[in-house]
C-alpha cells in the first residue's frame, strides 16, 4: 500500500535532502541583504585593532618573544588563523541550536519530523549552511592576510588546510548535534553553547600558543578538536611543515571527531524520542 512516488532510501535522495536544506537556509540568509555589507566591510575592519595593538605593545607587527615560542615572529597571521577556525566554532555551536529553535517557533519542525527522510541528512544540511557564512568570512580574512603579510595561500598549502577544516567541522558537527538535542528538548541551548564556546576559546590556542597555558589547562586543551586543527593549520601555513609530519595530530583529531559524532547522533536520537513522548517537540 505504499506510493509509487515514494523513493526508498538512496544516495541520490539523501543528497537532495542535504542540498535542499542548504539551499533553503542560504535563501533565508540572502533574504536579509545587510549580510552582504557585513561580508564586504567587516573583514577589513577586523584587522585594525590587532595592528594598532601590535604597534602599542611591541612597537610593530613582529615580536621576538613570540617567535621564540611559536617559531614565527608575525603574530597577526597567527591570530588570523585562530580567528578563522574559531569562527566555525561560533557559527556551528550557536547556529544549529538556534536553527532548531527557529524551526520549532515557525511551526515547521513538526513537518520536518513527520517526513520520511532520515533527519541526520537534514541536520547535515543545516550544519553546512551554518558553515557557509564562516567560510566566506574566512576567505576574506585570509585574502587580506595574504596581501598585508604575504601569507602563503597556494593550492599546495590550502588543500591540506581545507581537509583539516573539514575534519574540524565534523567534530563540531557532533557537538552541535548535542546542542541541537538540547534545543529540541529545552528550547534553549544558547547558554550551553556560550559556555562551550568560552571553554574552546580559553583552552585552545586561539589567541595565544598552547604553551602559554599552565600544564593542567594544556591537558584540557588537548581534548578539544579546535586545538589540533589550529596546531596543524598553523604549522602548515606559517612554518611550512609538511602535512605528513602532522600525522599524530591528525589522528587525534579524527578520534575526537568520531567520539563527538557518535555522542551527537546518540544524544539527538535519544532527545527526539524523549520529546515525542513528552510532547515537547511542538513547543517553542
Partner 1 sequence: MVYDKESEVFSIQTINLTKRFAKKKHRGVFGFLRKNQSKNKHEENTDVTVALDKVNIEIRPGELFGLLGPNGSGKTTMIKCLSTILIPDEGTVIVNGFDVQKETSMVRASLGMVVGGERTLYWKLTARDNLMYFASLYKMQRRYAKKRVEELLETLQLSDRADERLEDYSTGMRQKVAIARALLHDPPILLLDEPTLGLDPNFSRQIRSQIRELSEKHGKTVLLTTHYMDEADQLCDRVAFINNGNIVAVDTPNRLKAMVKEREIVEVAVYRPPADIESQIRSLLPDAEVIKLIPGDEDEGNPSRIKIIGGTAEEHMGTIIDALRQKNIRIGSLNVGVPTLEDVFIKLTGAKLTEGGMQ
Which parts of this chain interact with partner 1 (CB under 8 A)? 1-3, 5-10, 13, 16-17, 19-21, 23-24, 27-28, 31, 106-108, 110-117, 122, 273, 276-279, 281-282
CA distance 30 to 90: 20
Residue number with CB closer to partner 1 (106 or 143): 106
**Closest approach of Cβ 50 to partner 1, in Å?**
36
Residue number with CB closer to partner 1 (61 or 132): 132
User: Can you read off the three cell numbers belonging to residue 70?
Assistant: 611559536
Q: How many CB atoms lie within 10 A of CB 234?
A: 22
CA distance 263 to 259: 6
**Closest approach of Cβ 195 to partner 1, in Å?**
22
Residue number with CB closer to partner 1 (143 or 282): 282
Residue 239 three-state SS: coil
User: Can you read off the three cell numbers belonging to residue 122?
Assistant: 537534514
Residue number with CB closer to partner 1 (1 or 155): 1
CA distance 163 to 249: 13
* Contacts of 12 by beta carbon, 8 Å cutoff, 6+ apart: none
Residue number with CB closer to partner 1 (4 or 154): 4
Is 181 in contact with 107 (CB distance < 8 Å)?
A: no
**Closest approach of Cβ 185 to partner 1, in Å?**
13
**Closest approach of Cβ 1 to partner 1, in Å?**
5
DSSP 8-state secondary structure symbol assigned to residue 8: P
Amino acid at each position: 500500500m505504499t506510493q509509487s512516488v515514494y523513493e526508498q532510501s538512496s544516495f541520490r535522495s539523501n543528497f537532495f535532502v542535504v542540498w535542499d536544506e542548504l539551499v533553503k537556509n542560504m535563501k533565508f540568509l540572502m533574504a536579509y541583504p545587510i549580510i552582504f555589507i557585513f561580508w564586504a566591510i567587516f573583514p577589513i575592519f577586523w584587522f585594525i585593532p590587532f595592528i594598532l595593538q601590535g604597534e602599542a605593545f611591541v612597537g610593530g607587527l613582529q615580536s621576538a618573544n613570540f617567535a621564540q615560542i611559536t617559531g614565527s615572529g608575525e603574530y597577526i597571521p597567527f591570530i588570523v588563523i585562530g580567528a578563522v577556525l574559531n569562527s566555525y566554532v561560533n557559527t556551528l555551536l550557536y547556529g544549529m541550536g538556534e536553527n532548531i529553535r527557529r524551526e520549532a517557533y515557525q511551526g515547521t519542525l513538526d513537518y520536518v519530523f513527520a517526513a520520511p527522510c532520515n533527519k541526520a541528512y537534514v541536520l547535515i544540511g543545516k550544519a553546512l549552511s551554518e558553515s557557509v557564512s564562516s567560510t566566506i568570512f574566512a576567505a576574506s580574512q585570509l585574502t587580506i592576510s595574504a596581501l598585508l603579510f604575504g601569507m602563503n595561500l597556494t593550492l599546495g598549502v590550502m588543500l591540506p588546510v581545507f581537509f583539516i577544516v573539514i575534519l574540524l567541522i565534523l567534530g563540531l558537527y557532533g557537538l552541535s548535534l548535542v546542542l541541537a538535542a538540547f534545543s529540541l528538548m529545552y528550547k534553549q541551548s544558547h547558554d550551553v553553547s556560550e559556555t562551550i564556546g568560552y571553554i574552546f576559546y580559553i583552552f585552545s590556542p586561539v589567541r595565544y600558543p598552547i604553551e602559554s597555558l599552565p600544564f593542567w589547562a594544556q591537558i584540557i586543551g588537548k581534548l578539544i578538536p579546535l586545538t589540533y586543527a589550529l596546531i596543524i593549520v598553523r604549522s602548515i601555513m606559517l612554518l611550512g611543515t609538511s602535512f605528513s609530519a602532522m600525522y599524530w595530530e591528525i589522528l587525534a583529531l579524527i578520534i575526537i571527531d568520531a567520539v563527538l559524532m557518535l555522542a551527537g547522533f546518540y544524544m539527538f536520537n535519544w532527545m527526539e524520542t524523549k520529546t515525542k513522548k513528552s510532547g515537547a517537540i511542538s513547543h517553542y
